[in-house]
Structure 1
Amino acid sequence: MAQWGRGRLTIVIAAALSVTVALLSGPRALASGILVRDLLATPPIETQLSMEQLEALEPHVIATRTEFTDGEVRFEGPLVTDLLRFVGDRAWSSAKITAANDYAIDIPVSDFKAYGVILARRMNGRELSRRDKGPFWLMYPLDDFKELQDPVYNNRLIWQVVKIELK
């Protein structure tokens, strides 16, 4: 009976370790890329963009202030329009951007073109960690356009982006 009890304990410990490893790999899974769904395609097309594919897109810089940072911050990452071209560049009208915590917001695709919105990977030269709202933070050039000084746009600064659904 004691042997059976130890064996069962070993299984329980192994299961607990597996759960712990899965939880700890969460941020790594988050850092593995972004899922893009083209809902205009029939049937819808899913593309998992890897970190390498996203890093291969030309980086752009936005220097701006946000209510989430102190002073002007330099954000760097690919233009969202470049990412869209990479997955197909259809006549999408909106993008539902979803964060790791399931927060989601619909954004007009026209914003990406009009304002040069980026998917920031770096802040002040440092790669964004999950703690720093990374690995991907959708960033508008808030200081460059007077109309962006509106809470509507502040709500669109979604961080820890994991999924983009295009419609």
Structure 2
Amino acid sequence: MSVTDIGLMVIIALALLFAIYDEFIVDYFLKGKTRLKIGLHRLNRVDALIFIGLVCILIYQNITSNGTVFTTTLLLVLVLMACYLAYIRRPKIIFKADGFFYANFFIKYDRIKNMNLSEDGFLVIGLEKRRLLIKVKQLDDLETIYNFFLTNN
């Protein structure tokens, strides 16, 4: 087993752990019961496609240069994980009792200084030092978030 194979296994394991964390642990086990879950607009699809294309070039190069089957298999699994993370998995904002998870960070409700709605359909949440731009998948979800904040805070 080469250093490349070990590196690929570590990357695949980290991607798998992230997928499990994002789908199950955040939703069911962290910071209490989920009160509201809203799907968000996907970003960086082209970046993922470029990454998948580069890994496919590595697969082709490994096959033509008589590389090991194990390395080729690991590269194929990496392509599958990249496809799952970029195209199948749905980004979401998860509201809990004390705060919400956005981009894998937990933000407490008391950190929110102001909230606005932009003309482009972004929900802008102002924190102490920065702003969060949240682009929901459906514009009706903005009203759901607004009603959630009215009834729970």
Report the TM-score when normalising by structure 2. 0.29
Higher strand proportion (structure 1 or 2): 1
Report the TM-score when normalising by structure 1. 0.27
Higher helix proportion (structure 1 or 2): 2
